[in-house]
Amino acid sequence: AQSVTQLDSHVSVSEGTPVLLRCNYSSSYSPSLFWYVQHPNKGLQLLLKYTSAATLVKGINGFEAEFKKSETSFHLTKPSAHMSDAAEYFCVVSEGYGQNFVFGPGTRLSVLP
């Protein structure tokens, strides 16, 4: 069975400093992994995806994530935070048929001026 753990419910950084949002997953098979961002009262937007190609994945808005199978991790990073990055971030795993997507509980990112 699939599951996703996002280790921090809230992360606060200063503008211009690096961002690290942590995600660990469990999966019986080779999963697909995704990061989504949600701004207040909006739908979810795909940031990036891992689908068994390169382990370092680049996404939109300067975000990237590294798939580490040995650590079952898929942490999201950005070198320099911007005020517009303040939002909720969801790590998602998908494998095979059935429920198809399992969402982590989310991490709220605050960016301080």
Residue 69 contacts by C-beta under 8 Å, 6 or more apart in sequence?
Answer: none
Choose, by CB under 8 A, the member of 32, 59, 62, 66 that binds other proteins: 32
Query: Please, what is the minimum distance in Å from the beta carbon of residue 54 to other proteins?
Result: 16
| Structure-block tokens of residue 85 | 């990055």
Q: Least distance to other proteins from the beta carbon of 71, Å?
A: 21
Residue with Cβ nearer other proteins (41 or 70): 41
Closest among 80, 58, 59, 71 to 22, alpha carbons compared = 71
Cβ-proximal residues to 71 (8 Å cutoff; 6+ apart), any chain: 24
Site for other proteins in 45-104 (CB under 8 A): 45-46, 49, 51, 90, 92, 94-101, 103-104
Q: Closest CB to other proteins among 35 and 111? A: 35
The Cα 67–Cα 49 span in angstroms is: 10
Rule CB under 8 A: which residues touch other proteins?
Answer: 31-32, 34, 36, 41-46, 49, 51, 90, 92, 94-101, 103-106
